[in-house]
Structure 1
Amino acid sequence: MNRLSPATPTALARPLAALRLLTGALFTPARSTEPLLAHAPRRWQRVAPFAVTLVFATTLLPVTATVLSQVYGLGGGWAGALAISQAAPLVLAVTRPLQAWWIIFASDVIGGILLQSVAGVAAGRPWPWTPMVIVGYLVLMICLGLRESRRTLLAVWLATGFAGAFFAVIAQPGGDGDGGNHVLLTVLSGAFLLVTAALRERGDAQRRLAEQETISEGERARRTLLEERTRIARELHDVVAHHMSMITVQADSAPFRIEGLPPSAQEEFATIAASARESLTEMRRLLAVLRSDGADAERAPQPGLDRVQQLVEATVRAGVPAELSLPAGLGPVPPAVDLSAYRIVQEALANVVRHAAGARTRVSVLAQDGWLTVLIVNGPAAGRSSLWESAGTGHGLVGMRERVRLTGGTLDTGPLPDGGFRVAARLPLTARKDVP
């Protein structure tokens, strides 16, 4: 008595599992029921699927009924029913192509059986697929390829091939009903499904790439903003730490510099000094977190407007004709405003060197009515961009806006009619209560 080897069940299980998957795919349409090309940029593109399928349906319906009744000799009732079921569902295919395929495929198979068993097919006439069936079925393949998954498309193609094989078996070789197009629809439908599926996947890939690029641009902008805020926080630490150190020294030395201080005043000065030292400790702890990326601590004092002349001279050495208008009697400038004004000039000049090499540039600084105005204007580029880079933040207008917002000022930037560019910053010289 022969026994099946242990490998036999496994060998049968895999084809059966694949068959179940393909069969399930035929009953699992795509979740989306949006019309084909619903997200196309132009309105005519969104309307095109409806217009095309409607034209094919209205054309094929009367032609099919006429050909089936007059050429193939099928009864008028059968001819009309087949014409409607083979042509009308094409309009449904715009939103639900798999459901439309079931209707059209079933009617095509029934039509092939009827043509042989009821009407009888004369030799030389296309069978089992009439020319109208082939045209409508290929239109349906386009709709399927633009919507359904690969597994569903493979299942549809195999079902089409099985139907052609079935008719090839029941046909009488050399006799009536052998029109010789059993394989034609299988080959054409496979080609149409392959091409349309490839076009759809290419479009999906391009759309995902565009979305990813948009996300990357947003992430890059947020990262630039955070980096600039971190840099500003570092610089402000150095500015504030200097004043806190001065408070500590003055509070500690007050009992020795001022004679006759009562014990309560000395205790108050000691409390002020302790609070200042505690604040410095907290600021250094915060700075350590901000510099956790390995950036070296800046030991030199933070620059201000007194070093703008050096920036202009460095810009001139880089090949950009620049001039500075800086009044001698500006008066006291808050440290944060002083540093921000310097950084704005630094970044603006760096942008001129990078993007408008050779452009004549003018830097103006003016203090009036409690506001410090910093204006950088450059003309159109007069040559190729230079490889020279300044010590700017490299974050351009993002950093400028953050610094201006920090001090409670305003920033106005934009191109000029002659092709140049203008950067105008207005910073308050006194503390503002509405500044966060």
Structure 2
Amino acid sequence: MNLPAGLLRLTRPLTLAVVSDHADPPFPRSRRLRIPIPASLGLLPFRTIDLVLLADLLLAWSLFSTGLSDLLEGQRRLVASSSGGPADWFPEAFLWFAAAASSFPLLLRNWWPLAAWRLATASMLLSVPIVQTLISTPYSVAAIITYPLVVYSVAARCERETTLGVWVLSALAGGVLNPSHAPDLLWSPEILGGAALLGAAAILGYNVRARRLAAGRLAEEERRSERALAGQAALEERARIARELHDVVAHHMSVIAIQAEAVPLQASGEPGRLEEGLREIRALSLSAMTEMRRVLGVLRDGDGRTDTAPQPGLGRLEELVGTARSAGLTVTLKLVGDLTGLPTAVSLSAYRIAQESLSNAMRHAPGSTVSMRIARSGAELHINVANDAGHRSPADPGHGGHAGHGLIGMRERASMLGGKLWAGPVGTGFAVTAILPIVEDV
């Protein structure tokens, strides 16, 4: 017969308390609660002394010896009393069992808290007649100390439902331990006081468990956040390296390709001019290889060292313009304001934007006229590069048909500094305009 769902929910905590064996693993001890053993005692099977376990051991032994002494003294008083006949006496082994029942569950609570609670409950129920007869109360001092500690361990290591079931069954067991108050079992001061004491131990253990779990989740979230930040940094670094490689390869390879095509035509069979053109192509190739080594050096360095070669900046702008002119472009350069002392990131981004703009002009508008203006205005750097159609045929869509990584990279560089970039057709040509805030390197 199936039980109603409501009754199942009510009885579930009690069922878990009786049959469940799930408990969280012990929380790591603080280093202050662990004493290392000297190397001279290395033959011992353990390397440290757990002060909590040591305290449980000493407390269990103290409660056992004290409880046994009290029971033996009660037995002697009973024997000496005229009202106590032989039928009321207990074998000494029973006294040892009753003393152990009130103390030894402490030794199990760190490894098996639920088993420790069940053992404490069952053994104390069995020892009620002995304790009640010899001490005149079902609650020995050892039980008053041991039982709340065991309930605390359950609450600190088990789920909330299990803890609730343990508390309810413990309160009911307290009523069984005090049969003299059977008519008003639930309202006797002893029962209510015991339930309150066990409830306080359960609440304390539950709060400790909740705090430890929250700390564990926070630590896990911090680790995930660190991994996410590390992954994001890796992606940003890859994107930066990809932009650098694109700028180097796109610019230098475009110039080399144009030079290789133009040099034979310009030489017109003259060995001297042909040799000079080839030397220039070789110099451009070496320059491209040098920059590629600098960028890829970060990836090849297994020791985490970075290349200390200076990054290109606006100080190499004349060299960049000279390379573009040698590739057939007619470039006019105008610099406005003091462009010295710019932050490295701003100078590098401005250089790469100018480089990419010239490379696009070489690829999509060969032989075009390019006007480049770079001006410093207050806390901003303004860049404007515009070219005409050059020798491009009308069927060639020019820049508008090739919005590849070059334009994306320029926009990313501007956005990285908090700036803006516009790029698009202007008349028959193409123009790039960027505004970069002049901010110090972070």
Shorter-chain TM-score bucket reads 0.5 to 0.7
Contact 1:165–1:182 under 8 Å retained in 2: yes
Aligned to 2:313: 303
What is the CA-CA distance between 1:302 and the residue it aligns to?
6.5
Q: Does 1:239 align with 2:248?
A: yes
Query: Which residue, 232, 236, 239 being the options, matches 1:230?
Result: 239
Aligned to 2:117: 101
Structure-2 residue corresponding to 1:110? 126
Summarize deviations over 1:2-54 as a string: whole Å, max 9, x none: xxxxxxx9994421343145313432223555xx4434333538712212211
The residue aligned with 1:161 is 171
Cross-structure match for 2:97: 81
Identity value in percent = 28
Larger radius of gyration: 2
Distance (whole Å) between structure 1 residues aligned to residue 219 and residue 102 of structure 2 = 39
Question: Is the alpha carbon distance of 1:235 and 1:17 closer, same or farther for their aligned partners in structure 2, counting shifts above 3 Å?
Answer: same
SS at match of 1:42: helix
Letter in 1 for 2:257: T
Q: Distance in 1 between matches of 2:262 and 2:99?
A: 105
What amino acid is aligned across from residue 52 of structure 2 in structure 1?
Answer: P
Aligned residue in 2 for 1:141: 151
User: Aligned in 2, Cα 1:66/1:172: closer, same or farther, shift over 3 Å?
Assistant: farther
2:216 aligned partner: 207
Q: Which residue of 2 is the match for residue 313 of structure 1?
A: 341
Question: Quick one: distance in 2 between partners of 1:173 and 1:18?
Answer: 25
Q: CA deviation at 1:158?
A: 0.7
In the aligned structure 2, how far is the partner of 1:18 from the partner of 1:182? 22
Alignment match, 2:331: none
- After superposition, the Cα gap between the structure-2 partners of 1:197 and 1:246, relative to the gap in structure 1 and judged at 3 Å, is same
Give ranges in structure 2 of 5+ residues lacking alignment: 36-48, 79-88, 271-277, 279-310, 318-336, 344-350, 356-436
The superposition leaves residues 38-84 of structure 1 with CA deviations (integer Å, 9 ceiling, x where unpaired) of 34333538712212211211111021122234337562332211111
Please name the residue that 2:107 is paired with.
91
Structure 1 unaligned spans of 5+: 1-8, 262-268, 270-300, 316-334, 340-388, 395-436
Q: Residues 238 and 302 of structure 1 are in contact (CA less than 8 Å); yes or no, is this contact kept in structure 2?
A: no
Give the secondary-structure state (helix, strand or coil) at the position aligned to 1:181.
Answer: helix
Residue 29 in 1 paired to residue 21 in 2? yes
Cα distance between partner residues in 2 of 1:310 and 1:198: 65
Q: 2:149 and 2:131 mapped to 1: Cα distance?
A: 23
What are the equivalent positions in structure 2 for 1:401-416 lying under 5 Å apart? Answer: none
The alpha carbon displacement at 1:115 in A equals 4.3
TM-score scaled by length of structure 2: 0.52
Aligned length: 269
Q: Which of 56, 64, 68 in structure 2 is aligned with 1:65?
A: 68
Question: Structure 1 pair 217/17, CA: closer, same or farther in 2 (3 Å)?
Answer: closer
Distance 1:258 1:179, change over 3 A: closer
Query: Which residue pairs with 2:203 in the alignment?
Result: 194
The C-alpha deviation readout for 1:111-152, integer Å capped at 9, x for no partner, is 224445xx377xxx43x3222211111222232232222122
* C-alpha distance in 2 between matches for 1:220 and 1:310: 38
- Whichever residue aligns with residue 239 of structure 1, its letter is V
Matched, 1:257 2:263: no
